[in-house]
Structure 1
């Protein structure tokens, strides 16, 4: 699409409501560029719009812009965004705000991204004790941790202690920690020593018979599913008064299907913990086939959680009579068939239902057949037909349930996208359309009164 001229936005249509809608939509535009991102940051001069910063995808350039923002709220939002660039965030280890440095020390390495080399050491030398204490969770070298055990703040001394560090401390430091004036530090030392050579002899472990006969249901439940407890002994729990004990017994690997079906177990509502043998060996074809063919629905749901399954097991689970077996297959595995994923998307009402549209087998030619379906989710699915064209999008653009998605679809005809930018109720979604040219986006920001940054002026 070519850039759109200013004459396409008559003054009488560019109201405050419309420009606010543009700003709201542009913040979520997936094709957002760095210069536009910087202008949107500058438009939020009070830091009152940060939800988008916490939620949208941030590349290196965007993360760096948020980190360089003069507003603490913007810098905090960047830390809390799981997609933020690791290297760009590293500058926050020296942020002028103690609050920012603390939050960065607390969660800056979360979301599986870790912290760049050397950054934890910077945080360990921070002037704020709470920042130094938080830094201990990010794999500090032993010599740095050792230094922190002599910190003036008890919180830091306690946080720095670990079983791995203790043998490397000098006798003088260990004696000081043993006599530390802070009870919490002495308790941390005692916990370390309890695992070492100074520990008192532990009492003898209970025998399998004692565990099965325990008065504690939690002990009996653990015994019921423990493969080290002989099956003949575990079967004494078949009529246990605690339903959870019988359920645990029913999912043992060494039961025959006949023995399993003879147990009066109760399948509870909600999430369940898969048995260890399925978790650890469910990738093995023989184990997967046995669990998938079991009459125990929780074993079938458990094996459906395995990300890699043989094709025949996927086919069997996809035809399962239990809704949640099929749902689990769709949520956890990439091989769930297209028809199943669409079915789950259409009819599941759990918290993760919307994520099913990102399944690799969701978008397929032929989904356009749902364009007039009474189920709004299936009408939305129609927009994911890769063969669908502008006509498909136009049929849904005024749909009360799906129109917001059609307005953001890059296949929306250019003239319709332009028109919708000045229509109340549509402008926000049209501004989020990735097909908007960069020049047009800057024109929208100009009309919204957002100053151009130096980079944009130079361009």
Structure 2
């Protein structure tokens, strides 16, 4: 019975209507040594009583899961910075590994908490903090003169925000790794630094891509034929060498040349290159200009699919470019619009939803502000494709009878969507709670009476 009700318990743990007293009961659960379901710990807006119970929970995994939650407030997670377990402290230091919305950034821990974690006695905690992608710029800048060379290397992420004195100090740092990393940041405008880095095998690939190249060095590197794709991306590569690489036997080299920002569309089209069907469009100069209207216009109007894919990842596209890319025939362009742009047209959202299906589309229906709701029942309740029938559940005009009908649908996703809908009649909701494929969805249904939530906990062995 415990295994049968485990999915129902997961649903109850995520139920937005779960009363506080039942939430506290669930959080206290040891889960056979694993702690309560993670859904209870990744809920937004946990009340103070629940947070206090998590912080004092005897099961290590409970505290680790809460430290990993992208839903928790930074101040709540910060309270685990003094946890007795190095694993918990390291998890807090690194921060959430994923969020429910890829467009939203995780709010960083306060600088004072980060400073405490950086002074932690455990190396794993210090390393986790410096590896974290969620550090505040103010904290990173403060690390430029930190006694730990790993901290000084982390400060280099914000090279352009550091003072001239900090640049000088880091370029002459006593630690060779810091000096190398600083030089790789500064070499974009310094041919002397670039020439020195080209003699360092460790730094060579990045220096080739970023550094300010002397013509003689560029010629020599081309003749050596090493890391030519990186060389082809270098913004300072002389035009005559660009022409040579444009006809290189290696398709990857030719593709890199085709993405150079100075090329005209005619010159770009003359290069023979191949684009992988699912390549994301990671183009340095477009990513750097993600808010620059001129950069976005050049990329969005290009015939090169990777440039259009890169432009489509900007949430700041002006209306005319948004309309242009919304009619693009490239699937990845439209997918990027659906993920990153808040004003993506409905027909694009619908086409991406139908093409991708599964959990990604389930996220899009709840996470995108423009995903439609009204009129979906009339349009899709009897659609031959279950991917569309589940959309009918989103319609606020769908009545209990339709929701109940869809809870018996041949398509599993459609049944689950209906089982989680509060309009589902109570008898069918209670029945769904006993069906393995619907138990989790039914457990998460806000209309589930608290007495039934408590019964699920009883059956799962959660102590009263």
Normalization by structure 1: what TM-score? Answer: 0.73
Instruction: Tell me the equivalent position of 1:170.
Output: none
1:333-368 per-position Cα deviation (integer Å, ceiling 9, x unaligned): 122211111111112269844433222222332222
On the 8 A contact 1:93/1:123 being kept in 2, the answer is yes
**Cα separation, 1, equivalents of 2:408 and 2:353:** 22
2:356 is matched with which residue? Answer: 348
2:236 maps to 228
Q: CA deviation at 1:219?
A: 5.0
Greater CA deviation, 47-56 or 425-434?
Answer: 47-56
Q: Residue 76 of structure 2 corresponds to which residue in structure 1?
A: 88
Is the 1:334–1:360 Cα contact (8 Å) retained in structure 2?
Answer: yes
Question: Which residue of 12, 16, 37 corresponds with 1:30?
Answer: 16
Whole-angstrom CA distance in 2 between matches of 1:76 and 1:249: 46
| TM-aligned CA distance change 1:424 to 1:336, over 3 Å | closer
- The residue aligned with 1:57 is 43
Residue 319 in 1 paired to residue 327 in 2? yes
CA contact (8 A) 2:308 2:325 kept: yes
* Stretch of structure 1 that moved more, 246-255 or 270-279: 270-279
Secondary structure of the corresponding residue to residue 239 of structure 1: coil
Alignment deviations for residues 171-216 of structure 1 (CA, whole Å, 9 cap, x no partner): xxxxxxxxxxxxxxxx9834346669xxxx8546642364256145
Whole-Å Cα distance in 2 between the matches of residues 245 and 350 of structure 1?
Answer: 36
Partner of 2:187: none
User: Contact conserved, 1:237 with 1:246, CA < 8 A, in 2?
Assistant: yes
Report the CA distance between 1:59 and its aligned residue: 2.6
Distance (Å, rounded) in 2 between the aligned partners of 1:258 and 1:136: 45
- Aligned CA RMSD, in angstroms, stands at 3.8
Matches of 1:240 and 1:224, distance apart in 2: 10
SS in 1 for 2:110: coil
- The answer for the alignment partner of 2:166 in structure 1 is none
The answer to whether the Cα contact below 8 Å between 1:278 and 1:303 also exists between their aligned partners in 2 is: yes
Cα distance between partner residues in 1 of 2:276 and 2:97? 37
- Structure 1 residue 234, shift from structure 2 partner: 1.9
Q: Distance in 2 between matches of 1:98 and 1:423?
A: 41
Higher relative CO (CA 8 A, sep ≥ 6), structure 1 or 2?
Answer: 1
Counterpart residue number, 1:278 = 286
Q: Bigger CA drift: 201-210 or 328-337? A: 201-210
Deviation at 1:437, TM superposition (A): 4.1
**Further displaced range: 393-402 or 206-215:** 206-215
1:253 corresponds to which residue? Answer: 261
How many Å separate the matches in 2 of 1:226 and 1:29? 52
- Which of 386, 406, 419 aligns to 1:407? It is 419
Q: CA deviation at 1:38?
A: 1.6
- Does the 8 A contact of 2:248 with 2:254 survive in 1? yes
1:408 shift after superposition: 0.5
Separation in structure 2 between the aligned mates of residue 161 and residue 247 of structure 1, nearest angstrom? 35
Equivalent residue number for residue 370 of structure 2: 361
1:119-146 CA deviation, whole Å, 9 max, x = no partner?
A: 3454456565654665677749989x97
More displaced 10-residue stretch of structure 1: 64-73 or 120-129: 120-129
Which residue of structure 2 lines up, in the alignment, with residue 211 of structure 1?
A: 218
Structure 1 segment 2-401 matched on structure 2, within 5 A: 20=6, 22-48=8-34, 52-53=38-39, 56-61=42-47, 62-107=50-95, 112-123=106-117, 126=120, 128=122, 130-131=124-125, 139=139, 159=150, 189-192=175-178, 202=193, 203=195, 206-208=213-215, 210-211=217-218, 214-215=222-223, 219-348=227-356, 352-357=360-365, 358-368=367-377, 369-400=379-410, 401=412
3-state SS, counterpart of residue 28 of structure 2: helix
Cα deviation, 1:386-411, whole Å, max 9, x if unaligned, reads 33232331221111321111011112
Q: 1:288 to 1:398 in 2, by over 3 A?
A: same
Q: 1:135 to 1:237 in 2, by over 3 A?
A: closer
Is there any run of 5+ residues in structure 2 with no aligned partner, and where?
99-104, 157-172, 184-191, 197-211
* 1:39-85 superposed Cα distances (whole Å, 9 cap, x missing partner): 11234352335552487424342443322212112111211222223
